[in-house]
């Protein structure tokens, strides 16, 4: 490859991310640079000075603040000035009725919204943390709305057998309105709100109802005397507490699915008639969850006894959910012996355009059955959905890794065993651990979603029961993927020139031409990329082969430091030989590993040129009224589509032997036929508005084409339509484009 002399691109301001990167380098600490996709993905600059870490969380890690900036999520409900109720800080806009005829709930994301209405006025709600209780919406029936930072759930609490016999409970119809979304029902009774592209914006699991039979079951043994320490040690403190909360069925509760019907402006739920009629008084209250748990997360819990929890939360105790066999062990009690698995699904959107160098999956373990470690596996599976059940559970595709751990028992262990993030990262000594290559394939688009399963390695061992929070994070070290440079050209005195045809090269009179290129990354890899451009210049030999030109002072620009995506660099080459044919191309390099390693893009393709100091110089070009040539500081629009432009071509100062000219309106167009004369005038008619670039060259009396001039002029936009007619209109009324008023034909 060839080399060069010349100056680096100068005066390019640092982006905020590059400033943060400098701070990271100076302090040796990891510095947060930016957040993508709102609240779920955070990008950090690493202390090595050239790589970044992207962390995609399964739950929002922070949310937008009104007026700009970010804040910690907080689902606590509060009364608002407009009389509605809403969470303090959520990832999507949510509002709920403050009582009266206001809609029960509205959820809004980027201008697309969904609204649900209770059939009748609502009482003023009683707020308690993230819950709003609307008492006696029907005789003996309360309505409870519970909010997370990403969704909401509404549950009807049927308090007595008399209330269960109400005619209103036989069929519940909610008003349903939306804008930019289409609510559809899946085959399993799950719902999805689709945007115009058919993508699910919000999802809801199948509707279900359950009783409180589990509350009347014998209390499990919750303490065990540790012989060696002679102090009480609790069994799993949370698994048996769900019953009666109204958020989900608990152990021993009877669960039934409900039929859901979606109409144009309504959502109808049909509770199970037998459960309403036959439930024993001791098993009240009944809970009716009408599948309006609107959220966007793909996060599922599956249990071998048929229970599933889509978008599961951590519970009021913040202990998350368990994985393994929930049974009894050595006097400890968890449950009746079902097997439970946890699933997290990630989107590739944040990884687009990035080369994954390393991947780590991290999730918090707040509880384990015992202090001694047990194996827990991370497995890639088929994708999940709001209709996934244990019987249709995802197929296990590939083993990502395992950890031999125990955490969350605090002072019950010696040494202490506090809550801890459990990290899965490939062990080089275990070649069958595949998390990083799997995430690399995921980023490259080889599959559409990444679903990871947490499970006990031995699902027959009840002592291996562990709990995990829903705070799973996929952390990825990456570097932006480079793309081929754009805007490759020779910078002549009148503008950028690049001739792609070897048979018709550009001509320059300066033997030290300046080359230009814009560094690029693949879409999605732009953020804080560390880029340089590598130039290669060759000359053609007499035998038709090509060779590198003699090296000068380096072919990479900038020669130190980096530029960002879309930034240009120029390089002035060392003196070239008159009359020789040259070509040059460029690559974008994306650097990492403290500048010791880089990725290279594909080539820009060749620009051909030759140096001829005696050929005609770039001719003078004049743009006549109603247009004018653009300058370095202004480009004044003139004329309009189909209004002719008069172009005049004349010899450059010092040239006396020009005999003809050619022009074209695009660097990729073919040249016009020759226009004879020492100076000529040509009319062209632009067919559209916008900027036109006129390329012009002159030929001398010995038949040599010379250097090109490049002149821009701006064609003003034409007048808009005075009316619009739709041929399927039956009214015979046109709409005036300026006023939007209807008028008779």
Instruction: List pLDDT tens digits, range 591-611.
Output: 988 888 999 999 999 999 999
Task: Confirm if 161 and 284 have CB atoms less than 8 A apart.
Answer: yes
pLDDT reported for residue 162 = 95
Taking 60 as the threshold, does the pLDDT of residue 218 lie above it? no
Task: Confirm if 92 and 40 have CB atoms less than 8 A apart.
Answer: no
Residue 724 lies in a domain: no
User: d(Cα 214, Cα 244) in Å, to the nearest integer?
Assistant: 8
Section 355-369 average pLDDT: 93
Q: Would residue 203 be called left, alpha or beta, if left means φ above 0 and alpha means ψ between -120 and 50 degrees?
A: beta
Tokens of 195: 């945007």
Of how many residues is the chain composed?
745
pLDDT reported for residue 262 = 86
In sequence order, what are the residues at sequence separation of 6 or more whose Cβ sits closer than 8 angstroms to the Cβ of residue 596? Answer: none
Taking 60 as the threshold, does the pLDDT of residue 17 lie above it? no
**Do 559 and 588 share a structural domain?**
yes
Handedness of CA 293, 76, 55, 430 (dihedral sign): negative
pLDDT reported for residue 232 = 36
Q: Give the end of a domain, one of 611, 635, 651.
A: 611
Residue 267 lies in a domain: yes
Residue 118 lies in a domain: yes
**Do 625 and 584 share a structural domain?**
no
Residue 495 lies in a domain: yes
Pairing of strands 396-405, 658-664: unpaired
pLDDT reported for residue 349 = 79
**Do 263 and 135 share a structural domain?**
yes
Taking 60 as the threshold, does the pLDDT of residue 734 lie above it? no
Q: Tell me: the pLDDT tens digits for 634-648? A: 999 999 999 999 999
- Torsions phi, psi for 437 (to 5 deg): -60, -30
The DSSP symbol for 23 reads: H
**Do 575 and 595 share a structural domain?**
yes
**Do 631 and 578 share a structural domain?**
no
pLDDT reported for residue 226 = 33
Residue 529 lies in a domain: yes
In sequence order, what are the residues at sequence separation of 6 or more whose Cβ sits closer than 8 angstroms to the Cβ of residue 386? Answer: 186, 190, 191, 192, 203, 204, 205, 206, 300, 310, 311
Residue 199 lies in a domain: yes
Taking 70 as the threshold, does the pLDDT of residue 268 lie above it? yes
Q: Give the end of a domain, one of 579, 611, 643.
A: 611
Taking 60 as the threshold, does the pLDDT of residue 264 lie above it? yes
Task: Confirm if 7 and 516 have CB atoms less than 8 A apart.
Answer: no
Q: What distances in angstroms separate CA 104 from CA 124, 137, 144, 482, 540, one per listed residue? A: 11, 12, 11, 49, 76
Check residues 185 and 103 and name the one with the higher pLDDT: 103
Q: Which domain holds residue 642?
A: 620-715
Number of domains forming the structure of the chain: 3
Name the β-bridge partners of 699: 660, 705
Q: Tell me: the pLDDT tens digits for 121-143? A: 999 999 999 899 999 999 999 99
pLDDT reported for residue 593 = 85
pLDDT reported for residue 70 = 81
Q: Can the peptide bond before residue 122 be classed as cis, meaning omega within 30 degrees of 0? A: no
pLDDT reported for residue 253 = 80
**Do 671 and 535 share a structural domain?**
no
User: d(Cα 332, Cα 330) in Å, to the nearest integer?
Assistant: 6
Q: What percentage of residues in the chain have a pLDDT greater than 90?
A: 50
**Do 572 and 711 share a structural domain?**
no
**Do 197 and 135 share a structural domain?**
yes
Mean pLDDT value across the chain: 83
Taking 90 as the threshold, does the pLDDT of residue 377 lie above it? yes
Pairing of strands 506-508, 607-611: parallel
Q: Tell me: the pLDDT tens digits for 52-105? A: 788 888 777 778 888 777 888 888 999 999 999 999 998 888 999 999 999 999
Residue 110 lies in a domain: yes
Position 236 confidence tier, pLDDT thresholds 50, 70, 90: low
Q: What percentage of residues in the chain have a pLDDT greater than 70?
A: 84
Check residues 725 and 637 and name the one with the higher pLDDT: 637
Identify the CATH number of the domain in which residue 630 sits: 2.60.40.10
**Do 273 and 156 share a structural domain?**
yes
**Do 705 and 639 share a structural domain?**
yes
**Do 631 and 586 share a structural domain?**
no
**Do 628 and 584 share a structural domain?**
no
Q: Give the end of a domain, one of 611, 644, 665.
A: 611
pLDDT reported for residue 317 = 77
HSE-CB at 641 with a 13 A cutoff on CA atoms is 8
Residue 433 lies in a domain: no
Q: Tell me: the pLDDT tens digits for 293-349? A: 455 557 889 999 888 887 777 776 788 899 999 998 888 788 889 999 999 988 887
Position 33 confidence tier, pLDDT thresholds 50, 70, 90: very low
Tokens of 688: 């559209």
pLDDT reported for residue 14 = 39
């Amino acid at each position: 490859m060839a080399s060069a002399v010349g100056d680096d691109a100068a005066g390019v301001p640092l982006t905020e991310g590059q400033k943060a990167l400098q701070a990271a380098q100076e302090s040796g600490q990891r510095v947060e640079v930016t957040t993508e996709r709102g609240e779920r993905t955070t990008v950090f600059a690493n202390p090595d000075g050239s790589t970044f870490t992207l962390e995609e969380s399964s739950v929002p890690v922070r949310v937008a603040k009104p007026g700009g900036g970010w804040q910690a999520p907080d689902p606590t409900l509060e009364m608002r000035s407009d009389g509605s109720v809403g969470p303090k800080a959520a990832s999507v806009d949510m509002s709920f009725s403050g009582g009266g005829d206001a809609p029960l709930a509205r959820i809004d994301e980027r201008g697309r919204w969904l609204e649900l209405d209770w059939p009748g006025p609502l009482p003023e709600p009683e707020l308690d943390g993230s819950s709003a209780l609307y008492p006696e919406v029907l005789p003996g029936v309360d309505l409870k709305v519970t909010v997370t930072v990403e969704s909401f759930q509404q549950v009807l609490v049927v308090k007595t057998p008399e209330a269960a016999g109400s005619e209103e409970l036989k069929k519940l119809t909610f008003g349903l309105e939306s804008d930019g979304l289409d609510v559809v029902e899946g085959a399993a009774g799950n719902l999805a709100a689709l945007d115009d592209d058919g993508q699910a914006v919000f999802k809801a699991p199948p509707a279900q109802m359950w009783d409180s039979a589990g509350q009347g079951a014998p209390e499990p043994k919750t303490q065990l005397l540790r012989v060696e320490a002679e102090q009480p040690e609790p069994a799993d403190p949370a698994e048996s507490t769900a019953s009666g909360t109204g958020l989900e069925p608990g152990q021993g509760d009877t669960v039934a699915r409900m039929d859901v019907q979606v109409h144009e402006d309504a959502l109808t739920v049909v509770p199970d008639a037998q459960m309403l009629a036959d439930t024993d008084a001791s098993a009240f209250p009944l809970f009716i969850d009408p599948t309006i748990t609107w959220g966007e997360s793909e996060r599922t819990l599956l249990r071998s006894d048929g229970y599933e929890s889509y978008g599961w939360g951590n519970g009021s105790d913040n202990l998350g959910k368990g994985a393994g066999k929930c049974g009894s062990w050595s006097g400890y009690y968890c449950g009746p012996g079902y097997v439970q698995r946890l699933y997290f699904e990630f989107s590739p959107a944040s990884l687009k355009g990035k080369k994954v160098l390393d991947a780590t999956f991290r999730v918090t373990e707040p509880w384990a059955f015992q202090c001694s470690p047990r194996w827990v596996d991370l497995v890639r599976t088929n994708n999940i959905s709001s209709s996934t059940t244990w019987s249709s559970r995802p197929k296990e595709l590939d083993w990502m890794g395992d950890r031999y751990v125990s955490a969350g028992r605090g002072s019950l262990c010696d040494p202490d065993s506090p809550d801890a993030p459990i990290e899965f990262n490939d062990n080089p000594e275990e070649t069958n651990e595949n998390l990083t290559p799997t995430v690399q394939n995921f980023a490259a688009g080889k599959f559409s979603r990444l679903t990871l399963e947490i499970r006990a390695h031995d699902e027959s061992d009840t002592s291996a029961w562990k709990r995990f929070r829903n705070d799973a994070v996929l952390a990825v070290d990456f570097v932006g993927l480079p793309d081929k440079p754009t805007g490759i050209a020779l910078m002549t005195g009148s503008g950028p020139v690049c001739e792609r045809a070897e048979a018709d090269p550009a001509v320059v009179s300066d033997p030290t031409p300046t080359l230009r290129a814009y560094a690029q990354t693949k879409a999605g890899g732009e953020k804080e990329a560390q880029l340089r451009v590598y130039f290669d210049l060759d000359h053609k030999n007499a035998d038709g082969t090509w060779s590198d030109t003699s090296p000068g002072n380096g072919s990479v620009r900038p020669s130190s430091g980096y530029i960002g995506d879309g930034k240009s660099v120029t390089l002035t080459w060392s003196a070239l030989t008159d009359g020789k044919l040259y070509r040059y191309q460029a690559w974008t390099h994306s650097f990492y590993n403290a500048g010791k390693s880089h990725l290279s893009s594909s080539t820009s393709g060749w620009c051909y040129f030759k140096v001829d100091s005696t050929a005609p110089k770039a001719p003078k070009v004049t743009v006549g009224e109603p247009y004018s040539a653009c300058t370095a500081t202004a480009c004044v629009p003139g004329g309009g589509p189909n209004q002719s432009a008069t172009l005049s071509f004349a010899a450059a100062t010092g040239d006396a032997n020009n005999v003809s000219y050619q022009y074209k309106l695009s660097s990729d167009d073919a040249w016009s036929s020759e226009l004879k004369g020492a100076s000529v005038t040509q009319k062209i008619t632009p067919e559209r508005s916008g900027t036109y670039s006129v390329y012009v060259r002159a030929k001398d009396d010995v038949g040599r084409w010379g250097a090109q001039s490049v002149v821009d002029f701006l064609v003003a936009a034409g007048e808009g339509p005075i009316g619009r007619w739709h041929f399927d209109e039956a009214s015979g009324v046109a709409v005036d484009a300026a006023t939007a008023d209807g008028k008779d034909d």
